[in-house]
């Protein structure tokens, strides 16, 4: 079947696009032609996406229940559906693969209605709403983890495909240190950043001892509107750090870390496992299905990370965590190894095999 076209579809966030990119890289190696259907948010991520074409498909989430809001949502989804039918007629893909988010719905539905084999990939331990809607309508469902609270006859665990950069970073050993050596801390809140960390982390660092501040080396992601404030606070505290809105080399920065503090999206948890780095995982609060909480629990139970709810994470508590981590390098090294044991390093191969199995 190699040489045919695969239509990949994903919402325009890193959490959806990064596993799609990893699968695309593997399929290109096998001789497939790749096209990507996504939404306008994907612009910052697609420069390295190995696709012959990137197609913006209209879609919308169900953001409100008023008749006007529902009409706008259904209108966008319908528009995307008919655009997707035209795209499928033009490309004639051998298989369509979706990676979640509502922009996946129109292409996957159109492909299924056109008789094209369809595969859906769910990155999280709890299946998302868009994927839940599609799960019974697709040929096969691949999952990054064992799915909590639901079962599907067409489901198979493949793991989360990760970018080549993550696999390269996984070759780097955990950086050895004693309690007196510099301590590399990386903080990020997902592809869109996290205001909570911009507020909590500087307040946390204020509570460290002078000697601990001197040892700290911080890499931190922050929203554009918070960067100047965070940089100013680090300068006041005399902490060496790099603060940016987005890092294109995040896997390498994770590999250079002694500890990572981050949200627990599926890609982040999977990269921490593959690279093998200890973490403090703070699930995004308010999520309908608490998918990030379920993801974080997997690493927490394996002894590879610590799950802490945002409501429970005061600067005082985070300072206690950080002080302990800086002074017990042997514990962090053990957590790094425990995290690595949970990884599925051949996830892209397993998903590519599934694609080739079902392609027509």
How far is it, in rounded angstroms, from Cα 131 to Cα 135?
6
Burial class from Cβ neighbours inside 10 Å (0-12, 13-18, 19+) for residue 106 reads buried
Fold of 168-341: Rossmann fold (3.40.50)
Which segments within 93-250 are labelled E, that is strand?
95-98, 118-122, 140-143, 155-157, 183-188, 216-221, 240-244
pLDDT at 193 over 70: no
Q: Say whether pLDDT at 195 is over 70.
A: yes
pLDDT value at residue 340: 98
pLDDT at 190 over 70: no
Q: State yes or no: pLDDT of 173 exceeds 70.
A: yes
For residue range 87-145, list pLDDT tens digits in order: 999 999 999 999 988 889 999 999 999 999 999 999 999 998 888 889 999 999 999 99
Lowest-pLDDT range of 43-47, 116-120, 318-322, 337-341 = 43-47
pLDDT in tens, 25-72: 999 999 999 999 998 887 777 788 999 999 999 876 766 677 777 777
With beta carbons less than 8 A apart as the criterion, state whether 209 and 290 touch: no
Rounded to whole angstroms, the Cα distance separating 263 from 192 reads: 11
- The dihedral region occupied by 35, where left means phi > 0, alpha psi between -120 and 50, and beta the remainder, is beta
Domain boundaries, the chain: 5-160+345-358, 168-341
> Measured between alpha carbons, how far is residue 96 from residues 74, 141, 153, 188, 246 in Å?
22, 12, 19, 32, 30
What's the pLDDT tens digit per position in 261-302? Answer: 999 999 999 999 999 999 999 999 987 789 999 999 999 999
Which residues have a Cβ under 8 Å from the Cβ of 66 and sit 6 or more positions away? none
* pLDDT at residue 289 in the model: 84
pLDDT of residue 68: 77
CB of 54 closer than 8 Å to CB of 36: yes
For the chain, give the percent of residues with pLDDT over 70.
97
| 200 compared with 76, residue with greater pLDDT | 200
Q: What is the mean pLDDT of the chain?
A: 92
pLDDT at 64: 66
Q: What is the pLDDT of residue 147?
A: 85
More confident residue, 77 or 22: 22
- The fourth-level CATH superfamily of domain 5-160+345-358 is Glycogen Phosphorylase B; (3.40.50.2000)
Distance CA 29, CA 311 (A): 45
Q: What percent of the chain has pLDDT over 90?
A: 77
Is pLDDT above 80 for 1?
Answer: no
Tens-place pLDDT, residues 231-261: 999 999 999 999 999 898 999 999 999 999 9
Whether the per-residue pLDDT at 192 is higher than 70: the answer is: no
Predicted structure pTM score: 0.89
pLDDT band of residue 196 (cuts 50, 70, 90) is: very high
CA 239 to chain centre: 28
Whether the domain at 5-160+345-358 and the domain at 168-341 fall into the same CATH topology: yes
The two structure tokens encoding residue 153: 């006859």
């Amino acid at each position: 079947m190699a040489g045919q076209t695969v239509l990949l579809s994903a919402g325009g966030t890193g959490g959806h696009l990064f596993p799609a990119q990893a699968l695309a890289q593997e399929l290109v190696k096998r001789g497939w032609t790749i096209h990507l259907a996504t939404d306008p948010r994907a612009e910052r991520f697609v420069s390295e996406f190995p696709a012959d074409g990137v197609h913006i498909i209209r879609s919308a989430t169900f953001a409100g229940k008023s008749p006007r809001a529902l009409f706008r949502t259904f209108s966008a989804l319908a528009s995307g559906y008919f655009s997707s039918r035209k795209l499928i007629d033009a490309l004639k893909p051998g298989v369509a693969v979706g990676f979640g988010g509502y922009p996946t719905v129109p292409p996957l539905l159109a492909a299924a209605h056109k008789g094209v084999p369809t595969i859906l990939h769910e990155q999280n331990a709890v299946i998302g709403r868009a994927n839940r809607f599609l799960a019974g309508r697709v040929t096969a469902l691949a999952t990054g983890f064992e799915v909590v609270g639901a079962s599907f006859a067409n489901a198979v665990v493949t793991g989360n495909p990760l970018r080549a950069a993550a696999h390269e970073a996984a070759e780097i050993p955990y950086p050895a240190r004693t309690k007196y050596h510099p301590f590399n801390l990386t903080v990020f809140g997902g592809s869109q950043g996290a205001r909570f960390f911009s507020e909590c982390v500087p307040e946390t660092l204020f509570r460290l001892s002078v000697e601990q501040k001197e040892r700290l080396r911080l890499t931190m992601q922050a929203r554009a509107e918070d960067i100047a404030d965070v940089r100013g606070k680090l300068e006041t505290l005399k902490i060496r750090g790099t603060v940016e809105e987005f890092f294109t080399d995040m896997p390498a920065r994770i590999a250079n870390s002694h500890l990572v503090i981050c949200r627990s999206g599926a890609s982040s948890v999977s990269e921490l496992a593959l690279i093998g780095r200890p973490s403090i995982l703070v699930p995004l609060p308010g999520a309908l299905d608490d998918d990030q909480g379920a993801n974080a629990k997997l690493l927490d139970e394996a002894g590879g990370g610590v799950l802490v709810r945002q409501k429970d994470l005061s600067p005082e508590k985070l300072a206690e965590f950080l002080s302990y981590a800086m002074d017990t390098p042997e514990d962090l090294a053990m957590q790094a190894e425990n995290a690595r044991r949970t990884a599925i390093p051949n996830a892209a191969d397993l998903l590519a095999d599934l694609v080739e199995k079902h392609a027509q």
